[in-house]
Structure 1
Amino acid sequence: MTDLSADRLREWTGRRGLVSPDIPAHGKGTQARFSWQTLLVLRLAATLRDRLHVELSAYKSTLRLLQVRLAGEPFHGLTGCFVMLDVEQAMLLRSPDASYVATPEGFCVLSLQPHLDAIASAIGVTEKSVQRSLFAAMAVR
């Protein structure tokens, strides 16, 4: 789901501490557990490293901040969203707006959609969550 090898995942979530696992491994033979939000942050970190050749140690606090900001966000609520990152901050952008096109120098804007689609596919989500229509109450007794 993250396109990271097991060794790289352990390095990033353990020794280097770029992203914290949601449930750390406890002792030899146990595995750390990750929420979909944490998987999303790991995928974004891999994109920064692989495609943009960013040194991730400079983004350590930003990745952790993004992980905190994504906690509690509903999966379907991030459809079409972007994240704007620099070495000090992470902003969640709810929609592509012309005001975001002129980003401050040093910022990187990444779409969440390809990462959300990959995670949804990997965990077997087949349809987007949709709010069902409300119906009129007939009577209250």
Structure 2
Amino acid sequence: MTVRCIMVFLYKWQNGEPRYLLLKRNPKLGGYWQPVTGFIDEPETNRHAALRELTEETGIEEYERVTDPNHYFFFDMNGTSCSVSVLAVEVTDPPEIEISFEHTECKWLSYEEARQTLYWENNVETLDKLHQQLLAQGKH
């Protein structure tokens, strides 16, 4: 059985570069840094799940645009296969982040800082692909 999951990179443009929001999981959930993540509740679309998780984990409800980098990956979560779809959500002038009980901290980071802070290699690979696409598109 494969479980469907979503990963959401929230970003904002600052000085011509995207800055990414990372969340630190609480110690009981691993204590590592990652973007917004969660399960896709059937029959949700990737977009709906991404926006729901974004609101649940950050309090963000308003956004500029949703980008689909056409990237996904699989990983094993305690014996369960997870299919992870990725979306990116752009915000301008985001309000203060209201983190959920799942997290203890959050911070906006440059691409290089985010690469060094992310715990999982598949998260770093995803950020690499997304960052290149965002730079190619430029700020709208």
Which structure features the higher share of strand residues?
2
TM-score, structure 2 length as denominator?
Answer: 0.31
Structure possessing the higher radius of gyration over alpha carbons: 1
TM-score, structure 1 length as denominator?
Answer: 0.31
Query: More relative contact order in 1 or in 2 (CA 8 Å, sep 6+)?
Result: 2
